[in-house]
Structures are given as C-alpha cells and as structure tokens.
Amino acid sequence: MRKSLTCTVCPLSCDVVLEIGENNEILSLTGNKCARGKVYATKEHTAPERTLTTTVKTKGGSLPLLPVRSDQPIPKPMLKKAMEATADLVVDAPVKMGDIVIENFLDLGVNLVASRDLDRAH
C-alpha cells in the first residue's frame, strides 16, 4: 500500500511517500529533502500527535472565553476526548498567559495552559 503525506516540519512542504507492508510496517520512504522529513513521516504513520488548541469558558473574566492549548502534543486519537473534557470547563479570572489551567491533562503528562492574559471583569 502507498501512503502520501505532506511534511510540515519546514517551509519546503515535501511530499513524502511511504510504501506500507502487510503488517503496517514502512518498507520505504521517499520524497523527503531532509532527515527531519523522514522522522516526521515515520512518526505521523506510527503515532500521530497534535497540539490541542481550543477555548474554555470563564467566570468573572473580562471575556467569556479563554484560549488554551496543550503544552506538548497529544496522541491524535485522544483529540475528541480532550475536546469533550474541555467542553464544560470553567476557569476563574484573572489568568496570566502560560498559567496551567489543568495539570497532567487526561493523565497524558501534558498540561493545558492559558494562551493569553484574562483580567477580571470590572
């Protein structure tokens, strides 16, 4: 089987082609112009990860929503569960950018952090 990916590690955006065997192993990898592309494509095939970015509700804040993100990528299959976990989350103002909103989010070893300052409502 053949699988095509566009590498996002650098601005070259190489089209990387993987030949996949019957046991889902990578038989060959072509199209990358640097070693980082090989690492990216291999990881994207075997264990894809994404940084979670979303908003959460606020209480007593100058804005109704606070943008948050995971401080490290999380496994791609966990994104839906992560979004569901933030749906009813309410953060008390004030908050400073970089503050940890949830430590060890979903027991993944990553933190959910504020992406901006949020003052108290006047």
What pTM does this model have? 0.83
pLDDT the model gives residue 80: 97
Residues 17-46, mean pLDDT to the nearest whole number: 95
Residues 22-35, mean pLDDT to the nearest whole number: 95
**What are the start and end residues of each CATH 3.10.530.10 domain in the chain?**
53-114
Q: What CATH architecture is 53-114?
A: Roll (3.10)
Residues 30-45, mean pLDDT to the nearest whole number: 95
**Each residue of 73-121: pLDDT tens digit?**
999 999 999 999 999 999 999 999 999 999 999 999 999 999 999 999 9
pLDDT the model gives residue 122: 82
pLDDT the model gives residue 2: 96
| Number of residues in the chain | 122
Write a three-state SS string for 43-99. HHHHCCEECCEEEEEEECECCCEEEEEECCCEEHHHHHHHHHHHCCCEEECCECCCC
- 46 φ/ψ sector (left φ>0, alpha ψ -120 to 50, else beta): alpha
**Each residue of 5-18: pLDDT tens digit?**
999 999 999 999 99
pLDDT band at residue 31 using 50, 70 and 90 as cut-offs: very high
Residues 10-37, mean pLDDT to the nearest whole number: 95
